[in-house]
Amino acid sequence: MEDVCARFVSQKISKTRWRPLPAAALQPPDLFATGSWDNEDNRISVWSVGDLGNAGLNGEYQGEPQLLCDIRHNGDVMDMQFLDQERIVVASSTGTVTVFRHHQNNQTLSANQQWEKAHYHVDQDTSCGGAACTGVICNKPEIVTVGEDGRINLFRVDQKDAVRTIDNADSSTLHAVTFLRTTEILTVNSIGQLKIWDLRQQRNEPSQIFSLAGDRVPLHCVDRHPNQQHIVATGGQDGMLSIWDIRQGTMPVSLLNAHEAEMWEVHFHPSNPDHLFTCSEDGSLWHWDTSTDISEKPSFLHQGGRSTAYFSHNTINQSVVSAWLSNDPTKDRMEITNLVPNQTLSVNSLDILGPCLVYGTDAEAIYVNRQLFA
Amino acid sequence: MEELDAEPPVMVVPGADPSSRQLCFAWGPAEVLLCETRFDRTGRSPASRVFVVRKDQDIYIHTLRKLFNESHGIFIGLQRSEEELAGKSRKSHLVQVSKNYRSVIRACMEDMHQAAMTVKPVRSEASRSSLGRNTWELTMNSSLPKAGPLLLRLLDWVRLHVCDVDNMVREVLSSEDPSKHELFWNVVDVFVLQGRMDEARHLLSKEASANPTSVNMYRILDDLMKKMPVPSLNNTQTLTEMELKWQHWHEECQRYLQDGTFASNSHTESICKILLGDEDAILEKKELMTTWYHFLVTRLLYSHPTVKPMELRFYAQSSMDLFLGGECSPEPLDTILMAAFEFEIHQVIKECSIALSNWWFVAHLTDLLDHCKLLQSHNLYFGSNMREFLLLEYASGLFSHHSLWQLGVDYFDHCPEYGRVYLELHIERIPLNTEQKALKVLRICEQRQMHEQVRSICKIMAMKALRNNRLGSALSWSIRAKDAAFATLISDRFLKDYCERGSFSDLDLIDNLGPSMLLSDRLTFLGKYREFHRLYGEKRFSEAARLLLMLMTAHIAPCSFWMTLLTDALPLLEQKEVIFSAEQTYELMRCLEDLTAGKSEKQKFQDDNVETMKVEMLRLALARNLARVIVKEGTLEGS
């Protein structure tokens, strides 16, 4: 816990994202971006976190995030994603999607490209009626955005117009989107449905619809297991974490009672998928750890597909089932820890990469933990 | 109404001219709206302007935002721990909380000093922050019963407060040869004035090694400084012992001074005089002390080290008079500190409320004092006690800020009497730009069982969605509010769309209504009707027929829709195989008759051909079906 650095930044943070590491990188991430909301003057900021080895001038400031640069953003930052090492795609509450470029040489940010009125209500030509763009996901060079207008847009970076737009894809608000495969996306909406869309097909219908069993609680976030693509996790308005197996059935495999209020983000750890992180309006950030002791299982079976070097997909049989899909979560030991010491206001966003965790709250503070698995 | 303590300040609104236009005004939560009316005094009537007059500008200062957020965290921690701790641990916890507030204020001050280099208007805020910090410390020092003599605490306070000299100290200490630095003696004086004997001795030893001729003098001075008796933290010596020792030491210093030991060097001589508590010598170093309360502490250190809290006020008043020397009148800060020295807590709070434009300081201070049980709760004439009044004012101020309203919620929570009412009124006025913001506000209301506000917010969002033709969003909002009436409205919209277009829009919504279907009858009908269409599409005719009939007989369907339902029954009646049983056919006929009987003669006359044709076709189809089914049911099976 001592490795958590906090910094008050005088703006409510809505999104935090680590800059992705180059493919063969060994060192932990050292740069992240944040977006603010509910300000008259919202900003996208880029921060750097120092090396762990350095003791700064005053020992207590060691590792505290330092602001490198920031730029004004029109509207609340609703979602943010790094397109590559230098470009960040930001979704705005005005319905505009902007690509910012971070210039490393002089540490500045500039707006590179913008799609205005990507999301709108009623008529695009009338001046009012911009609808918030609620989710953005990138798979370079493609960018998919969803919004409160129920529209799905497919952009290609450096192309002025949208490659494809699905109008009225959903009758309710689409809250989040993520890639399932390179040509398929997953969306969640405010009537508790998880939909798969195949972008190769021309029809404007989802290829599959999943929904919750009981009350149609709105779903706010979605994430796919990094290695096993049929496992999907979603977070709902009542704080419930649902794990879905999209190969079978239309209902979630397990429902885990998690938070007491809306769950804003859910993330599988990209290289360690036995670990899941969720953050919520109730001010807590939970770390779900299903990695069981290796000695308990036969030595040739490993969890989570971390080291699948010696058996191909064909030999994965039913006995190697991810802990996430087991019907009885209490049977396999799952450790759940709250990483926020004194919770006050909502934790709006989190991101994990390697051993580093960053999260931002409505109490206008950013927290960085660079030794998550120590 | 009570009497006013001070005349209310006159605020001039630039641009508003009451002599040319008649003005009208209205009070808002934290501001006044001033507008020019159409009643023109000069005869012309240009366009009217509207002015928004805000009293509390401080909220918008960027550097203060960090202060607000950090202190919010401390405040919440204090309220939560209230119940848990008791006794000694509680006391130390309260001291810890006070220290936290103090460090937060100090951090804010440093930020302001940094910002003041760049932006001028911040300077006044910097001074106000420092005012805040000083008063905080002083009040805390005097109020909380702490270990250790008063003087030591006062010394700590002065050392932490006067940061103006820190730069100078740093400069001299970091230079290569401190004793050659031009500010060397200033720094030594500062150390002496603040009672930092060890540091002064350290510097003097450097000077001594540089001047071997006067080594004797320096040795004596060093000796005096080392031997100076200070009240100790642990009570190893009684007061009389201490006073005796001090008397001895004072006489020794006196002797050395009169002997002329320090006559050769004016600097060391003045230091000796200061050690003796010579007021004139101390006053000479006015610029180094910068404030009268520094002077007070130095004076006490060297003339009355065993001062007791009760005696403080006398020395305070005389110190201020001596220091200011009648040139300038006391500033608000001075009055506040004077009240603090006199341990008049209420006076301190009152003076601060007048002097500062923002309620932050008094609100948190009063809250902490209240937790220490140091405030006598006297009720103000409008019902709440002082702590609650100040917290309410502060939180209301926060709500007028576009972003800090979330902090205000927690403050209202901890005002037992009026907090909830204030919160209810304020939370309705927050603009809801995006759905996410509305969800956050909604969660706040739900957690506090503010059902009225929940309903109102959901209705606003649902109407917005409906206007934008987002029927699914509208439905999800009405489900959240459990608003049956609105769900009925949405279902009617769907049905209207169906009647106009002949097909359903948003099938993904209607097909997947789930248990929320039961929210309203109309919604249930919508779901079931769609199910009927689905069954028909899947060619499960008998189930479809049964469902259709149930819709009509169970009165789930609205009367206006019965005609459509009956028309839907037509293809089922015309099927090759018989679907409706005799009973069912009779039911259908009854429904039809009910429908047509309801219409008056005039209406029947006005019905156009399509209507009458429909009815006739239905009658024919029903009759034919009846005929067939009677025959079918009458036939023996297998023969």
Confidence class for position A317, pLDDT limits 50, 70, 90: very low
Q: What is the pLDDT of residues A141-157, one digit of tens each?
A: 899 999 999 999 999 99
Q: What is the pLDDT of residues B73-82, one digit of tens each?
A: 999 988 888 7
Average pLDDT over residues B24-43: 77
What tokens does B132 get?
């805040």
Average pLDDT over residues B619-626: 88
Chain B CB contacts of A40 below 8 Å:
402
The partner residue sitting opposite B473, judged by closest CB among A173, A211, A363, is A173
Q: What's the pLDDT at B436?
A: 92
Average pLDDT over residues A327-350: 80
**pLDDT(B21) > 70:** yes
Cα(A6)–Cα(A369) distance, rounded to whole angstroms?
9
Cα(A366)–Cα(A362) distance, rounded to whole angstroms?
9
For chain B, what is the mean pLDDT? 80
Candidate from A95-104, A127-136, B342-351, B492-501 with smallest mean pLDDT = B342-351
Confidence class for position B2, pLDDT limits 50, 70, 90: low
Candidate from B87-91, B357-361, B390-394 with smallest mean pLDDT = B87-91
Predicted TM-score of the model (pTM): 0.83
Candidate from A78-87, A358-367, B359-368, B413-422 with smallest mean pLDDT = B359-368
Q: Do B443 and A10 touch (CB under 8 A)?
A: no
Q: What is the pLDDT of residues A262-285, one digit of tens each?
A: 999 999 999 888 899 999 999 999
* B 433-462 → A contacts, CB under 8 A: 433-437, 439-440, 443, 447
In this prediction, what percent of chain A has a pLDDT beyond 90? 53
Chain A CB contacts of B402 below 8 Å:
38-40
Domains of chain B, by residue range, sit at 3-54, 166-289, 431-538, 553-639
Contacts of B46 (CB under 8 A, 6+ apart): none
Contacts of A271 (CB under 8 A, 6+ apart): A226, A306, A354
Q: What values do phi and psi take at B478, rounded to 5?
A: -75, -25
Q: What is the pLDDT of residues B152-191, one digit of tens each?
A: 777 777 776 666 677 777 788 787 777 777 778 888 888 8
Q: What's the pLDDT at A301?
A: 40
Candidate from A261-275, B34-48, B479-493, B605-619 with smallest mean pLDDT = B34-48
Contacts of B492 (CB under 8 A, 6+ apart): B522
The partner residue sitting opposite A8, judged by closest CB among B66, B471, B476, is B66
Candidate from A356-365, B106-115, B322-331, B612-621 with smallest mean pLDDT = B322-331
Chosen from A38, A39, A61 to mutate, greatest number of chain B CBs within 10 A: A38
Q: What's the pLDDT at A57?
A: 45
Confidence class for position A127, pLDDT limits 50, 70, 90: very low
DSSP character at residue A201: S
Query: Is residue A374 included in any domain, yes or no?
Result: no
**pLDDT(B199) > 60:** yes
Q: Do A76 and B73 touch (CB under 8 A)?
A: no
Q: Are B427 and B450 in contact (CB under 8 A)?
A: yes
DSSP character at residue B225: H
Structural domain harbouring A63 = 4-369
Query: Is residue A145 included in any domain, yes or no?
Result: yes
Chosen from B93, B473, B505 to mutate, greatest number of chain A CBs within 10 A: B473
Q: Which residue from A minimizes the CA distance to B430?
A: A38
Average pLDDT over residues A35-41: 92
Contacts of B353 (CB under 8 A, 6+ apart): B359, B362, B390
Antiparallel, parallel or unpaired: β A335-338 and A285-289: antiparallel
* B 503-532 → A contacts, CB under 8 A: 505-506, 508-509, 512-516
3-state helix, strand, coil in chain A (%, to 5): 5, 45, 50
**pLDDT(B234) > 70:** no
| H helices present in B144-285, as ranges | 150-161, 164-174, 184-193, 197-210, 215-227, 239-259, 266-275, 279-284
Q: Which residue from B minimizes the CA distance to A42?
A: B403
Q: Which residue from A minimizes the CA distance to B507?
A: A171
Cα(B62)–Cα(A275) distance, rounded to whole angstroms?
38
What's the CATH code of the domain at A219?
2.130.10.10
Cα(B328)–Cα(A174) distance, rounded to whole angstroms?
66
**pLDDT(A223) > 60:** yes
Residue of B595, B587, B589, B639 whose CA lies nearest to B618: B589
Q: What is the pLDDT of residues B560-604, one digit of tens each?
A: 788 888 888 888 888 878 888 888 888 888 888 888 877 666 566
Q: Do A216 and B402 touch (CB under 8 A)?
A: no
Phi-psi region of A107 (alpha: psi -120 to 50; beta: other; left: phi over 0): left
Tokens 């926060």 belong to residue: B398
From residue B419, alpha-carbon distances to A126, B354, B447 in Å are: 43, 23, 15
Tokens 């805040």 belong to residue: B132
- Total residues belonging to chain B: 639
Higher pLDDT, A318 or B517: B517
Q: What is the ipTM of this complex?
A: 0.88
Overall domain count for chain A: 1
Contacts of B572 (CB under 8 A, 6+ apart): B536, B541, B544, B545, B548, B579, B580
For chain A, what is the mean pLDDT? 84
Sign of CA dihedral B129, B131, B132, B137: positive
The partner residue sitting opposite A344, judged by closest CB among B63, B76, B439, is B76
Higher pLDDT, A270 or A323: A270
Residue of B372, B374, B373, B370 whose CA lies nearest to B384: B370
Q: What's the pLDDT at A195?
A: 94
Query: Is residue A345 included in any domain, yes or no?
Result: yes
Q: Do A190 and B472 touch (CB under 8 A)?
A: yes
Q: What is the pLDDT of residues B241-277, one digit of tens each?
A: 888 888 888 888 888 888 877 777 788 888 888 888 8
Confidence class for position B94, pLDDT limits 50, 70, 90: confident
Measure in Å the smallest separation between the Cα of A302 and chain B Cα atoms. 39
Q: Do B470 and A121 touch (CB under 8 A)?
A: yes
Higher pLDDT, B128 or A319: B128
Contacts of B511 (CB under 8 A, 6+ apart): B530, B534
